[in-house]
Amino acid sequence: MDFNLSEQELMIQTRARDFANKLAKPRAAEIDRTGKWPSDLASEMAKSGFFGLQLPTEYEGAGAGYKCYALVVEQISRASMAVAAIIAINALGEEAIYRYGNEEHKQKFLKPLAKGEHTVMFAFTEAATGTDPRAITTTAIPSGDSYILNGSKAFSSLAPGAKVAVIFARDETGRVSAFIVDTSSEGFIISKQLETMGLRGSGTCQFSLSNVSVPQENLLGEKGEGYEILLLSINVGQLGICAEAVGTAQSALEMSLDYAGKRPVRGKSMLQLPTIQSYIGEMASRIEAARWLTYRAAAIKDEGKSIRKEVAMAKLVASQTAVDVTSMAMQIHGSYGYTRDLQIERLYRDAKITQLYEVVSEIQRIIVASSLTT
């Protein structure tokens, strides 16, 4: 594997860093405080070409690949994980439609997503069942030339900017299928905007489906193929989360270096204290390990191979790194870090979600172990 970034990758990384520093960073605290969807920043990311980076140019993507996707999410996460997550979560629906949609689906639904005209919700999880396909209760029953969907979904993000949703429901055969649903359909009801500890502003909600009519041609893939669609799509979302974790941890390290470098202790910089140096050395080393696990998974995906094991490893390590590094950064900042006057407490809260969403760390361990024992 070539560990050097290509000219294109460096250019896209620089563009994302500039966006993060000039536009996302000044807004990060406000987005976290209010929890409001940053529609203007979503539009700016669309203008910068950050949506659909991994998609082919024939569908309005950049054709830049999954490593560029990870690079952009990482850079923006250094300023605001909530803003970066718009790209990463949107990639779930994009991947589902790209890999399993027919040509009509790609022309009608994928192209607008790649251009960033709007976002897509990805709805599998249910409040009582989690992501267990055997327990899913949302139903899709044929009626004439449509399916009628009934049920409810939890923890679906990007709601304020979404015009379509990829929804998983149990069809008349008892198997899980995937459907592309217009969010303005009658009976599609956002029931609750969730107040979260971190990643605020990502538009996470619960919604219900009450006799929502969906054209049969909006069936994604084959009937009963829903769980396979979920597994493939979620790997791309997990890759984005790895990048979020790395970017957040990197930001915590940079804040710690800046804070400790400016704060005197007994006439010398905090950075000269062995305890602080130990923290910094540990933080930097673990971030670099997580970064290269993430880049490796992205490179393998760019080769057209499955990354189920590789992204599980990367997410397990990167998410734990984000949690541990932000905790160490909090120790370096002391009581000041516990206040909202400094940004470290936001990073501390944001980091935790990387261990939880799109499959918890405990399941990542099982995925890795299963790949080695079967």
Neighbouring residues of 365: CB distance < 8 A, sequence distance ≥ 6? 316
Give the domain extent around 292: 228-373
Q: What are phi and psi of 144, to 5 degrees?
A: 65, -125
The reply to whether 211 and 264 lie within a common domain is no
DSSP 291: H
| Digit-coded pLDDT (tens) for 126-147 | 987 766 767 899 999 999 999 9
**Inter-residue contact 137 to 151 (CB < 8 Å):** yes
32 with 54, same domain? yes
Q: Which of 248, 180, 253 is nearest to 218 (CA)?
A: 180
Q: Token pair for residue 33?
A: 């405080």
Question: Are 68 and 51 spatial neighbours (Cβ–Cβ below 8 Å)?
Answer: no
Indicate whether 222 and 176 sit together in one domain. yes
Helix (H) or strand (E) holding 143: strand 139-143
Q: What is the Cα–Cα distance from 73 to 64, expressed in whole angstroms?
A: 14
What single letter denotes the amino acid at residue 27? R
- Token pair recorded at residue 75: 């850079």
How far is 283 from 328, CA to CA, in rounded Å? 8
Q: pTM for this structure?
A: 0.96
Q: How many residues does the chain have?
A: 374
One domain, residues 111 and 130: no
- Domain boundary (119, 150, 166) is at 119
Instruction: Evaluate whether residue 336 is within a structural domain.
Output: yes
Within this chain, do residues 114 and 125 fall inside the same structural domain, yes or no? Answer: no
Helix/strand/coil percentages in the chain, nearest 5: 60, 15, 25
Catalytic residues: 358
Which contiguous run of DSSP H or E holds residue 165? strand 162-170
Helical spans, DSSP H, in 303-356? 308-333, 344-353
**In CATH, what number is assigned to the domain containing residue 287?**
1.20.140.10
Any domain includes 272: yes
Amino acid at 115: K
**Would you give per-residue pLDDT tens digits along the chain (374 residues)?**
667 899 999 999 999 999 999 999 999 999 999 999 999 999 999 999 999 999 999 999 999 999 999 999 999 999 999 999 999 999 999 999 999 999 999 999 999 999 999 999 999 999 877 667 678 999 999 999 999 999 999 999 999 999 999 999 999 999 999 999 999 999 999 988 899 999 999 999 999 999 999 999 999 999 999 999 999 999 999 999 999 999 999 999 999 999 999 998 888 899 999 999 999 999 999 999 999 999 999 999 999 999 999 999 999 999 999 999 999 999 999 999 999 989 999 999 999 999 998 888 888 888 888 888 87
Q: Using CA atoms, how far apart are residues 272 and 260, in angstroms rounded to an integer? A: 9
Report the 3 state secondary structure along 191-235: EEECCCCCCCCCCCEEEEEEEEEEEHHHEECCCCCHHHHHHHHHH
Do 286 and 198 have their domain in common? no
Domain identity same for 241 and 339: yes
Whether residues 305 and 199 share a domain: the answer is no
Is the domain of 66 the same as that of 20?
yes
First to last CA, the chain: 26
By percentage, how much of the chain surpasses pLDDT 90?
88
212-256 pLDDT per residue, tens: 999 999 999 999 999 999 999 999 999 999 999 999 999 999 999
What is the identity of the amino acid at 75? Q
- Residue from 232, 138, 207 nearest 179 by CA: 138
Distance (Å, rounded) from C-alpha 34 to C-alpha 200?
A: 8
Residues 141 and 219 in one domain: yes
User: What value does the CA radius of gyration of the chain take, rounded to a whole number of Å?
Assistant: 21
Let me know whether 167 and 232 are in one domain.
no
Please indicate, yes or no, if residue 204 is contained in any of the structural domains: yes
Report the C-alpha gap between 321 and 301 in whole angstroms.
22
Question: What is the 8-class DSSP label of residue 112?
Answer: H
Tell me which of 208, 226, 244 is where a domain ends: 226
Give the CATH number for residue 79.
1.10.540.10
**The pair of three-digit structure tokens given for residue 82, joined into one six-digit string:** 């909530």
- Total structural domains in the chain? 3
Residue 1 lies in a domain: no
Tell me whether residue 147 is in a domain.
yes
- pLDDT for 250-287, tens place per residue? 999 999 999 999 998 888 899 999 999 999 999 999 99
CATH of the domain at 206: 2.40.110.10
Give the whole-angstrom CA distance, residue 148 versus residue 130: 22
**Residue 189 is assigned to a structural domain of this protein:** yes
Alpha-carbon gap, residue 90 to 273, rounded angstroms: 44
219 and 275 part of one domain: no
The last residue of one of the domains, among 102, 119, 136, is: 119
